[in-house]
Structures are given as C-alpha cells and as structure tokens.
Structure 1
Amino acid sequence: MTVNPSRVPMCRILLAEDDDSMRGFLERALGKAGYEVTSFANGEEAYERLREEPFTLLLTDIVMPRMDGIELARRAAEIDPDLKIMFITGFAAVILNSENATPKEARVLSKPFHLKDLVREVERLLAA
C-alpha cells in the first residue's frame, strides 16, 4: 500500500536561532528534507508564534537574546505537551546540567554538526 504524499501531514518546525547564517543554513537543509520551517532570531518571537499556531518540533539554540532556549522550551511544553523539542548548542553540557528544568524528552545536538546529522536527528526524534 502506498501513501499519497498530499495526504501526509507535513512536519512543521519552529526554529529559534540567533545567528543569522546558522539560521539560514538550518532553514535550507530542513526545507530540502521536506520540512516546513518557520524561524526566528530569538526565543520571545518564536514563543509568540507558537501561541498562535501548532508545530511538530521546536528546534532551538540555548543561548539567545530576549528569551533563552531553555525558557522557550519550558513554556512551549506548557502550551503543547506533545511538542518534540531539540536543542542545538555549543554549550549543552554546561547549561543542561544546571538546575534549569528542561522538558524530559528533549534532545541535544552539539555544535558544530553536519547538516546531514541534523536532518537525521530530526527524523529520529519525529519518528519516536
């Protein structure tokens, strides 16, 4: 039995990354992999969009201005407990081992990473 691609719901990714070039790379790589990506340069703007419409995955940097990724993930999980969450950061080991409460199913991808690795990890998380 084959699935009609037009009937498969597209996975919607909310991306929060303050580095413009990194955000652009991530958007292009995920878009080429077939995901619909909506991106923001800070957690506060991403959170406002999440309050307006549903997403499948929150992909967020941890260190950002206005609202960091951990706070964004915590608030996002309150809005949608089924939202998948992945952090992308160069500071994961230090920040995620702190007293901050992060969503229990969140995954971390440490920078630097290859874009193919990102797409593979997103696919794994969405399939879980």
Structure 2
Amino acid sequence: MNKIILAEDDNDMRRFLAKALENAGYEVVSFDNGLSAYNRLREEPFELLLTDIVMPEMDGIELARRAAELDPDIKIMFITGFAAVALNPDSNTPKEAKVLSKPFHLRDLVNEVQKMLAA
C-alpha cells in the first residue's frame, strides 16, 4: 500500500483530503503544519508528500525541499490557492513537483496522485 504524508493547516480540508485518499486505497498520515510532517518524514519513508504551501511553522516549499533531501525519490504534490508561488523558479521547489490549484474536485486529486505514484 502506498503511504502518503499530508501537510495541510486547514482542518476541514485536511480531513476531506485524507478521507478521499484513504477511500482510494492509500495509507495517509496527516499533519496540520510542515514542521510536524518533516519530523515524521525523518522517521519513516513515504511515497508521496502532499502539502499545502502556506502553513505555519514551516511552509510547504521548505517542507518539500527538506523531504527531497531526505528521500530524493519521494513524489511531491502541492495543493494551493497560490499556484504562482509554487511555480516561481526562484523558490527552489523540487523539479518534479506537481501543483494542484484550489479549488479542485477530490476525484481530480485522487487521479493526479494515482498518476504520480504510477510514474
């Protein structure tokens, strides 16, 4: 079973995303900030990091950078209302990262996750 680590500071959004991914057959471990997610990434491997960009304590871009340092093979997907931030070449985001802009349908999220994990 593919393991996904989710970092999203909005409680309702985090619950909806986790439930949709669990219903699609993924194991999801979720956190409400980037620092907590990073600490968990240091303890065990995950196939995919799904992260919001704007969060307290550690933003999603920093989390993605650090996750890629820990595990160069981890897939990274940003979920954000601020897509231009993630796509900014100066932000040093991992090259293969995918950006899914809010609002999106949960089915689209699951489809994108399936595509990334199959690649």
User: TM-score with structure 1 length normalisation?
Assistant: 0.91
Which of 29, 33, 43 pairs up with 1:38?
Answer: 29
Q: Which is further off, 20-29 or 93-102? A: 93-102
- Which portions of structure 1, spanning 4 or more consecutive aligned residues, are displaced by more than 4 angstroms? none
Counterpart residue number, 2:59 = 68
SS of match in other structure, 1:37: strand
In 2, the alpha carbon distance for the partners of 1:62 and 1:52 equals 22
**Count of aligned pairs between the two proteins:** 119
Q: Which protein has the larger Cα radius of gyration, Structure 1 or Structure 2?
A: 1
* Identity in percent: 75
1:106-117 counterparts in 2 under 5 A?
106-117=97-108
In 2, the alpha carbon distance for the partners of 1:123 and 1:12 equals 12
Pair 61,46 (structure 1): closer, same or farther in 2 beyond 3 Å:
same
In 2, the alpha carbon distance for the partners of 1:117 and 1:95 equals 19
Counterpart residue number, 2:72 = 81
In 2, the alpha carbon distance for the partners of 1:94 and 1:70 equals 9
Tell whether 2:79 aligns with 1:99: no
Query: Contact 2:6–2:50 at 8 Å: present in 1 too?
Result: yes
